[in-house]
Amino acid sequence: MTRKVVLANDHGGVEIASAIKRHLEDRGFEVKYLGTETSESVDYPDYAKAAADEYLSGDYDFGVLCCGTGIGISIAANKIRGIMCALPQNRYAAEKTKEHNHANFIAFGGRVDYHDDPLKILDAYIDAKCLEDEKYNRRIAKTLELER
C-alpha cells in the first residue's frame, strides 16, 4: 500500500518544502503538493486550508506545512476541525508529538535555523508510532473536545 502525504507551503517555505518533497519521495511516499513554487508573497492560511481540506477528504498518512517560521501556517491549520499540527524544533519533539499527541500534521519554517536537520526531524516524526495509552488517549480526547 502506498503511503500518501499532503504538502503545502507559502512563499517563505518554498526551499524547505522542495527538500521535504524530494525526501518524502525518496522514502517511498506519494506526495500531493499544493504549495507555491515562487517567492511571490501569498497568504499562508490559504495553503493551510487547502492542505487540511485535501487531507480530510483523502486517504493520507499525514500532512506537512511550511512557511517562513512554521508558526503562522501551523496556527491556521490548527483552526480546522480534525487537524492537529505540531511545530517541533528537534527530533525528540517530533517523535513525542506523534507518540503522545497523535499529531496528523507537522510544520517547518523555511527561515528558521534548526539545530537538528529538518529532514531528520521529519524522519523522527514519520518513524514514531502513535502510542495507545489511556493517559495519552484521555489527553487527546480532551484536546479534540476543545474544537467543539
At 49-103, the pLDDT tens digits run 999 999 999 899 999 999 999 999 999 999 999 999 999 999 999 999 999 999 9
At 7 the pLDDT is: 98
> Which three three-digit cell numbers place residue 113?
535555523
Domain that holds residue 114: 4-145
DSSP 122-148: HHHHHH------HHHHHHHHHHHHTT-
Q: Distance between CA 84 and CA 144 in Å, rounded?
A: 9
**How far apart (Å, rounded) are the C-alpha atoms in residues 9 and 11?**
7
Average pLDDT across the chain, whole number: 96
Q: Among this protein's residues, is 11 annotated catalytic? A: no
Yes or no: say if 68 and 13 are a contact pair by the CB < 8 Å rule: yes
Mean pLDDT, residues 128-137 taken together: 91
Domain CATH for 27: 3.40.1400.10
**Sheet arrangement for strand 85-86:** 30-33, 4-9, 62-67, 105-109, 85-86
Contacts of 54 (CB under 8 A, 6+ apart): 6, 32, 34, 60, 63
**Among 26-30, 38-42, 143-147, whose mean pLDDT is lowest?**
143-147
Catalytic residue (choose from 23, 66, 67, 85): 67
pLDDT at 1 over 80: no
Neighbouring-strand partners of residue 33: 7
Does the pLDDT at position 123 exceed 80?
yes
Catalytic, 67? Answer yes
Residues 57, 33, 51, CA angle at the centre, nearest 5°? 40
Q: Is the dihedral of CA 105, 110, 114, 119 positive or negative?
A: positive
Q: How many domains does the chain have?
A: 1
The pLDDT assigned to 104 comes to 98
> Which position among 100, 102, 115, 130 bears the catalytic label?
100
